[in-house]
Amino acid sequence: MKSYFKFLLVLVLPFLSISCSQVAIPEAVGPVPSERQLAWQELGYYAFIHYNMNTFTNMEWGTGGERPEQFNPSEMDVRQWAKVIKNAGMKGVIITAKHHDGFCLWPTKTTSHSVKNSPWKNGNGDVLKELSEACKELGLKFGVYLSPWDRNAANYGTPEYVADFHEQLRELLTNYGEVFEVWFDGANGGSGYYGGANETRKIDSKSYYEWDTVTEIVRQLQPNAVIFSDGGPDIRWVGTEEGFANETNWSSMRRDEIYPGWPRYVELRSGHEDGTHWLPAEVNTSIRPGWYYHPGEDHQVKSLTRLVDTYYESVGRNGNFLLNLPVDSRGLVHETDARQLMLLKEQIDADFAQELAIGVKTSATNVRGNNDTYAAKNATDGNNTSYWTTDDGVTSGSLTIDFYEPTEINRMVLQEHIPLGQRVKEFSIAAKIGEEWIQIDTQTTIGYKRILRFNTVKATAFRLDIADAKASPLISNLALYRAPNLLVPPTIQRNREGMVSLLVPEATVSVYYTLDGSEPTKESQKYERPFMVATPRMLKVIAFDTETGMVTASVSKHIDIPKAVWKVVSVSSGTPENIQNIMDENPETVWATDNMTVSPQEIVIDLGASYSVNGFTYVPSQERYPFGIMTEYAVYLSRDGQKWNLAAAGEFSNVVNSRLKQEVRFTLKKARYMKLKAIKTDGEDPRASFAEIGVLTE
């Protein structure tokens, strides 16, 4: 080598190494996910199935004293479940192999309390085998829920039970192929059947189950499976069963403080910014009020609006969404649940149908080492492995997407490159309308995925402003979408005074109505604000999407006289406190009598004026654990509150299983007072309960 060339190299090398170090991969910050946690995070949305002994006993928590013969589905078809799940766009399923009542859905060697002794397939069936095979066939992941608490086992509370529990886990993880998640419930209620002892047994949930051994078993038999419990070790509960994570959601927690078992569940909703371990949140909720199937909840399957919100508040808030389907006693996913799942899929698909920022000019305030490997465009290249980042020490900065043409946007998806840790602490987004930048939203964390929903803005540019991060922010994805309106029929609400509100989730959807029973069109009365309906009417309503011209089917509601001046004259027992619950037009609030001896219980109502009455309505309690539902009634009418005439008496058949509004018509009578007697109520509880009482007038 010529000496002047050597000399040049000596001069240049230090600079070369500087520029190399400037583009070195950023160092990890805080805890980072394991391979199995990363793979799990990408699943996003998958199904829970609660199907077991409780399905046949109509319970949520069986006592353990049930008999295997009670497990007897009439048309069980796991391929139907798997198809519904697949078609819904879910990536896998976790099934209750054993719930707290101890009944095992597979022919375990550890107990006789299993499908082996049930009439189903003459004791030769194995639900887990069938489901795992169906999953394999359809390309779904398969996971198991195994309750540590066992109210059937005679040896529960002893070391022998723990050995059985570990053995059950081994069976589950050995015989059914690949398992992606093992779900351990935190409930340890105490009382139970326990082989006939019928007593309360207390254990220390932190030490009794030997969690270290449990983890070893899972790691040994299914090294790729993540372990879920309230506090991990791999996946955490989100601290609520309502179906949301907090907007601030760190995937890290001070795990040693919380695992195993922890009472401070509210913190699980947000994680810990200074967490020591990667512990991302799984949002579990049911598509119905209960985890198990109850025919009485057939009319309470969650609305599309609610499901869409849950999706955005789980997947869109750095969590995974585990949606429960209570398989029914036929052994099928109920038609209504399947329909709602498909509606959700269609809406989410439509929301994210077209990514508008891909390949659009993207610039940043700072690019790490000015190097293309970390360029701004990496966030909008549709590829999640590349990312935009800044120089070390730069913990704020902006990414700008220039459309030049005004472009309508109402969703922004943001993702951090989490293999190097979750970093962003504070950010906002802005849109350029004309020459002005308008701030649309200010938020805290991003994590694996954050989805922001906002009213449609038409802008020439959009900007992500990161105000603070634990270290250089790493943004692997910034995607923009123009989601269509969520078009659902309006919800009709009426208050006690008679004011009617017609509610839709989107401001850009118009509502039209009629009050004469005719079908509404966009020529009908447009809903602007709550209005008064003082006399009996048939209200019919439609929602109309001005952007697409699409219209919903109409919904109707018979509206009768307002209850504003109604007065309860007397009740057979019970405090007048909350008595307005029976006439507040809100089926969620309940009033009940409280006397255990007076029978039948009765209520006398003064309607405030004389009406031509020809019927009455009764809404039973909609509570999760209802009591005192009226199954037989008698209604009396009076002009003066002294002399009573029987108007109708009869039975509400199936009201316990189907808690819909009950309507009784009778011959027209002039009356100002109504007396309702609960001749019979369901169950042992002698109280009578009422969510809402109404009259039908001419």
Q: According to CB under 6 A, which residues from 68 to 127 bind ligand FUL?
A: none
Distance CA 561, CA 617 (A): 13
The distance of closest approach from Cβ of residue 95 to ligand FUL in the complex, given in angstroms and rounded to an integer, is 11
The distance of closest approach from Cβ of residue 349 to ligand FUL in the complex, given in angstroms and rounded to an integer, is 27
Between 171 and 185, whose beta carbon lies closer to ligand FUL?
Answer: 185
The distance of closest approach from Cβ of residue 185 to ligand FUL in the complex, given in angstroms and rounded to an integer, is 5
Between 187 and 646, whose beta carbon lies closer to ligand FUL?
Answer: 187
The distance of closest approach from Cβ of residue 291 to ligand FUL in the complex, given in angstroms and rounded to an integer, is 4
Between 43 and 561, whose beta carbon lies closer to ligand FUL?
Answer: 43
Of 179-187, 192-200, 303-311, 632-640, the window that binds ligand FUL (rule: CB under 6 A) is 179-187
Residue type, 189: G
- 3-state SS, 351-369, equals HCCCCCCCCCEEEECCCHH
Residue 122: left if φ>0, alpha if ψ -120 to 50, beta else—which one?
A: left
Distance CA 343, CA 333 (A): 15
Burial 328-366 (b: 16+ CB within 10 A, else e): bbebbbbeebbebbeebbebbeebeeeebbeebebbbeb
- 3-state SS, 275-287, equals CCEECCEEEEEEC
The distance of closest approach from Cβ of residue 149 to ligand FUL in the complex, given in angstroms and rounded to an integer, is 9
The distance of closest approach from Cβ of residue 47 to ligand FUL in the complex, given in angstroms and rounded to an integer, is 12
The distance of closest approach from Cβ of residue 59 to ligand FUL in the complex, given in angstroms and rounded to an integer, is 10
Distances, alpha carbon 651 to alpha carbons 24, 487, 603, 661, in Å: 77, 39, 18, 14
Contacts of 298 (CB under 8 A, 6+ apart): 334, 336, 657, 658
Contacts of 48 (CB under 8 A, 6+ apart): 93, 94, 95, 145, 284, 286, 291, 322, 323, 324, 325
Between 91 and 99, whose beta carbon lies closer to ligand FUL?
Answer: 99
Answer yes or no whether residue 291 interacts with ligand FUL by CB under 6 A.
yes
State which residue has the least CB distance to ligand FUL.
Answer: 187
Q: Hey, what are 514's tokens? A: 């009629």
Dihedral, CA of residue 334, residue 340, residue 341 and residue 342, to nearest 10: 110
Between 238 and 457, whose beta carbon lies closer to ligand FUL?
Answer: 238
Of 183-191, 261-269, 495-503, 680-688, the window that binds ligand FUL (rule: CB under 6 A) is 183-191
Between 185 and 298, whose beta carbon lies closer to ligand FUL?
Answer: 185
Contacts of 318 (CB under 8 A, 6+ apart): 245, 249, 251, 280, 281, 422, 445, 446, 447, 448, 449, 450
Between 187 and 569, whose beta carbon lies closer to ligand FUL?
Answer: 187
Which one, of 322, 227, 325, lies nearest residue 279 by Cα? 227
Distance CA 690, CA 623 (A): 11
- The 10 Å Cβ neighbour count of residue 646 is 12
The distance of closest approach from Cβ of residue 259 to ligand FUL in the complex, given in angstroms and rounded to an integer, is 16
Between 187 and 266, whose beta carbon lies closer to ligand FUL?
Answer: 187
Q: Hey, what are 661's tokens? A: 């509004």
Q: Are 189 and 61 in contact (CB under 8 A)?
A: yes
Between 260 and 694, whose beta carbon lies closer to ligand FUL?
Answer: 260
Between 62 and 125, whose beta carbon lies closer to ligand FUL?
Answer: 62
Answer yes or no whether residue 51 interacts with ligand FUL by CB under 6 A.
no
Distances, alpha carbon 21 to alpha carbons 11, 16, 24, 599, in Å: 17, 9, 5, 86
Of 79-87, 182-190, 381-389, 466-474, the window that binds ligand FUL (rule: CB under 6 A) is 182-190
Between 100 and 417, whose beta carbon lies closer to ligand FUL?
Answer: 100
The distance of closest approach from Cβ of residue 265 to ligand FUL in the complex, given in angstroms and rounded to an integer, is 11
Between 186 and 289, whose beta carbon lies closer to ligand FUL?
Answer: 186
Distance CA 377, CA 396 (A): 17
Distance CA 255, CA 262 (A): 10
Contacts of 542 (CB under 8 A, 6+ apart): 489, 490, 511, 512, 513, 520, 521, 524, 551, 552, 553, 554, 555
Of 7-15, 180-188, 294-302, 578-586, the window that binds ligand FUL (rule: CB under 6 A) is 180-188
- Cis peptide preceding 223, ω within 30 of 0: no
Answer yes or no whether residue 298 interacts with ligand FUL by CB under 6 A.
no
Answer yes or no whether residue 12 interacts with ligand FUL by CB under 6 A.
no
Between 62 and 600, whose beta carbon lies closer to ligand FUL?
Answer: 62
The distance of closest approach from Cβ of residue 181 to ligand FUL in the complex, given in angstroms and rounded to an integer, is 13
Answer yes or no whether residue 624 interacts with ligand FUL by CB under 6 A.
no
The distance of closest approach from Cβ of residue 658 to ligand FUL in the complex, given in angstroms and rounded to an integer, is 23
Between 188 and 386, whose beta carbon lies closer to ligand FUL?
Answer: 188
Q: According to CB under 6 A, which residues from 259 to 288 bind ligand FUL?
A: 284
The distance of closest approach from Cβ of residue 242 to ligand FUL in the complex, given in angstroms and rounded to an integer, is 12
For ligand FUL, how many residues bind (rule: CB under 6 A)? 7
Of 185-193, 198-206, 460-468, 489-497, the window that binds ligand FUL (rule: CB under 6 A) is 185-193
The distance of closest approach from Cβ of residue 451 to ligand FUL in the complex, given in angstroms and rounded to an integer, is 25
Residue 494 forms beta bridges with which residues? 500
Q: Hey, what are 299's tokens? A: 């009319």
The distance of closest approach from Cβ of residue 186 to ligand FUL in the complex, given in angstroms and rounded to an integer, is 6
Distance CA 104, CA 123 (A): 12
Distance CA 100, CA 95 (A): 13
DSSP labels, 101-163: T--BSS--SS-S-BGGGSSGGGGT--HHHHHHHHHHHHT-EEEEEE-S--SS-TTTTSHHHHH
Which one, of 231, 226, 181, 227, lies nearest residue 205 by Cα? 231
The distance of closest approach from Cβ of residue 189 to ligand FUL in the complex, given in angstroms and rounded to an integer, is 8
Distance CA 300, CA 489 (A): 16
Of 109-117, 184-192, 416-424, 634-642, the window that binds ligand FUL (rule: CB under 6 A) is 184-192
Answer yes or no whether residue 185 interacts with ligand FUL by CB under 6 A.
yes
Between 284 and 390, whose beta carbon lies closer to ligand FUL?
Answer: 284
The distance of closest approach from Cβ of residue 187 to ligand FUL in the complex, given in angstroms and rounded to an integer, is 4
What binding mask, one character per residue, do residues 361-380 give for ligand FUL by CB under 6 A, x or -? --------------------
Distance CA 197, CA 238 (A): 35
Between 284 and 329, whose beta carbon lies closer to ligand FUL?
Answer: 284
By three-state DSSP, how is residue 530 classified? coil
Between 66 and 185, whose beta carbon lies closer to ligand FUL?
Answer: 185
Q: According to CB under 6 A, which residues from 198 to 257 bind ligand FUL?
A: none
Q: According to CB under 6 A, which residues from 655 to 694 bind ligand FUL?
A: none
The distance of closest approach from Cβ of residue 621 to ligand FUL in the complex, given in angstroms and rounded to an integer, is 21
Answer yes or no whether residue 187 interacts with ligand FUL by CB under 6 A.
yes
- The 10 Å Cβ neighbour count of residue 242 is 10
For ligand FUL, the binding residues (CB under 6 A) are: 60-61, 185-187, 284, 291
